[in-house]
Amino acid sequence: MMPFTTILVIVIAVGSVFAGILLLKQSASKFELTDEQQQKIRDREIEQLDRDQKQD
């Protein structure tokens, strides 16, 4: 059987990872883009696809 300190370290490590995941989930926030911002994203994507095709 494992010593108490080893079990304690494992529990603390697993708890820290779990707490970190919960913190990330809680702090993640959705954001809404305006129509103008969405259009800029589409335009940049098209430009990048054109550049990629020219390089091939």
Q: What is the pLDDT tens value at each position of the chain, 56 positions in all?
A: 789 999 999 999 999 999 999 999 988 887 788 999 999 999 999 999 999 998 86
- Amino acid letter, 22: L
Give the N- to C-terminal CA distance of the chain in Å, as an integer: 60
31's CB contacts (< 8 A; 6+ apart) are none
